[in-house]
C-alpha cells in the first residue's frame, strides 16, 4: 500500500489532500498540532507534530517509513498566513513566517529525501503559493518564504531525479480555507492581516474550493508537473509575471492601494 505524510493535514488544503489520497487507497499520516474535525474515511492516522521541530519531523518520517516499509509521498503543506504592510510588521512576524512556512518545508525535505533516495522512489510535494511566483504585497514575510519554497523545490527536483525521487511545488491562488480567518496567529495584529477575508472578498468565484485544488494537485503529480498552479486565474497571473514583470508589479501596486485605502488603512479602518 502506498504511504503518505501530510503536514498541516488537519484543515484546509491539507485536509482536502488527505481526503483525496485516502480516497485513492493511500495510507495517510496527518501531521499537525490539532486533530482533524471529523476524521477522513480510509486508512488515516494522526500524529501531533510541530513542523518547526526538526527532530520531531525526522522521528515521524522515520517511524512511518519503518512501519510501512516505504514512503511514497511527503506533502510539506503546513503553513500560516502573515499579513500587513511592511511598516506594520515586526521581526516577530518575519521569524514566525520563516520558521513555519520555510523551515517547516526544509525539515520535511531533510527527513524524507534521504529515505526516498535510499528506496529509489518517492515524491516530495511542497506547498508554496501564487505569492511565491508573483509580486504579492501586504504580506512580505509570507511572500519571501513562499518564493524560497519554489526555488528550493525546483533546485531539489533537478538533483533528486538521479535518485528516482520526484519533487514538485504547489502554488495555489486564493483558496477557501481557515488560513484566511487566522492571519498572524499568535502575532501582533495588523490592519490588513486582521481583515484578510474582507480584503480578498467573499464574492462567488473569488475563493477556490480546497477539494478542487486537491484534485488539481493529484492530477499534476500524476502528470509529472514541476509547478502546479490553480485555479486558472492563478495561472494567468503567473504568465503575466513571467512575460511582463513590470506590469505585474503595477497590478500589485494597484491591488495594494485598493486593499489599504488612500491612507494606508484597510477597508473599514481598524
Q: Which residues are catalytic?
A: 142
| Three-state secondary structure call for residue 262 | coil
Contact by Cβ (8 Å): 229, 243: no
Buried b (16+ CB within 10 A) or exposed e, 24-47: eebbbbbbbeeebeeebeeebebb
| Three-state secondary structure call for residue 76 | strand
Contact by Cβ (8 Å): 44, 24: no
Q: What is the DSSP letter of 257?
A: H
Give the pairing type, strands 165-172 and 227-230.
parallel
Give the position of cell 485555479: 231
Q: Is the peptide bond before 231 cis (omega within 30 degrees of 0)?
A: yes
Give the position of cell 505585474: 248
Task: Single out the residue of 259, 266, 99 nearest to residue 189, CA to CA.
Answer: 266
Give the position of cell 511592511: 86
Amino acid at each position: 500500500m502506498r504511504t503518505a505524510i501530510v503536514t498541516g493535514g488537519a484543515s484546509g488544503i491539507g485536509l482536502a489532500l488527505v481526503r483525496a489520497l485516502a480516497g485513492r487507497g493511500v495510507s495517510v499520516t496527518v501531521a499537525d498540532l490539532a486533530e482533524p474535525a471529523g476524521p477522513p474515511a480510509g486508512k488515516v492516522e494522526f500524529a501531533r507534530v510541530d513542523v518547526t521541530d526538526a527532530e520531531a519531523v525526522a522521528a515521524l518520517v522515520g517511524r512511518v517509513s519503518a512501519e510501512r516499509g516505504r514512503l511514497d509521498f511527503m506533502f510539506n503543506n503546513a503553513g500560516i498566513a502573515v499579513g500587513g504592510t511592511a511598516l506594520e510588521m515586526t521581526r516577530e512576524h518575519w521569524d514566525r513566517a520563516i520558521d513555519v512556512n520555510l523551515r517547516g518545508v526544509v525539515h520535511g525535505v531533510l527527513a524524507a529525501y534521504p529515505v526516498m533516495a535510499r528506496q529509489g522512489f518517492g515524491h516530495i510535494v511542497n506547498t508554496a503559493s501564487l505569492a511565491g511566483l508573483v509580486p504579492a504585497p501586504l504580506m512580505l514575510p509570507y511572500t519571501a518564504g513562499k518564493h524560497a519554497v519554489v526555488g528550493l523545490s525546483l533546485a531539489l527536483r533537478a538533483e533528486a531525479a538521479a535518485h528516482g525521487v520526484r519533487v514538485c511545488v504547489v502554488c495555489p491562488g486564493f483558496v477557501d480555507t481557515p488560513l484566511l480567518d487566522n492571519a498572524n496567529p499568535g502575532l501582533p495584529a495588523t490592519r490588513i492581516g486582521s481583515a484578510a477575508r474582507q480584503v480578498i472578498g467573499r464574492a462567488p468565484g473569488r475563493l477556490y474550493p480546497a477539494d478542487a485544488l486537491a484534485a488539481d494537485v493529484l492530477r499534476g503529480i500524476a502528470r509529472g508537473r514541476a509547478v502546479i498552479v490553480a485555479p486558472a486565474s492563478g495561472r494567468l497571473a503567473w504568465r503575466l509575471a513571467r512575460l511582463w514583470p513590470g506590469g505585474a508589479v503595477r497590478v500589485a501596486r494597484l491591488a495594494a492601494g485598493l486593499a489599504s485605502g488612500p491612507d494606508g488603512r484597510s477597508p473599514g479602518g481598524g
